[in-house]
Amino acid sequence: MPFQETGIDNLLLFEPKVWGDERGYFFESYNEKVFAEAGITAQFVQDNQARSSRGVLRGLHYQTGAFAQAKLVRVLEGEVLDVVVDLRENSSTYGQQYSVVLSSSNKRQLFVPRGFAHGYVVLSETAEFFYKVDNWYSKESEGGIRYDDPQLNIDWNIDAAELVLSEKDKVLPFLGEHRK
């Protein structure tokens, strides 16, 4: 099975089988049957892509209520540190974080269930980040948690002086203050 447990329920790391030769490589980045066998039945409705420079940190973002989103995230070019925080209040891992390096070379993907905050920082000179979501975006339902929350103490694997954040992300609330 190409999925690895992460220690947080339903948060799975996908490592596809890659076939390569002198011409290049081929792999299935998504196969509904393979994902369903792993318990992932999300019906993706939208694909999103972002290009960013080194140090750009996007997150930690989430959608609430009827607009909560599951995501399947990966990197098409470059390398990022991908970080999620479990916000599921009834979860035994509530408030726990998980981080993993996703890159064009390792081809890993992370399945992020509904109920998680998600963010990433670009570690390479540039990166193209791609993700699928299983629900539509709603401005009224968006929420976020500060990247530098002392309770989470996330190691972003990059010097703080290199971080580039949006004004919105700089003023997100801490974990104990976030909107549910």
- Active-site residue, selected from the candidate residues 61, 94, 120, 137: 61
Give the Å distances, CA to CA, from 93 to 6, 10, 21, 139, 174: 11, 11, 42, 27, 17
Containing 71, the helix (H) or strand (E) segment is strand 71-77
User: What residues form DSSP beta bridges with 20?
Assistant: 25
Closest CA to 58 of 73, 40, 42, 77: 73
Catalytic status, residue 178: no
Catalytic status, residue 137: no
Closest CA to 113 of 76, 156, 57, 73: 73
Containing 35, the helix (H) or strand (E) segment is helix 32-37
- Active-site residue, selected from the candidate residues 62, 131, 147, 178: 131
Residues involved in catalysis:
61, 131
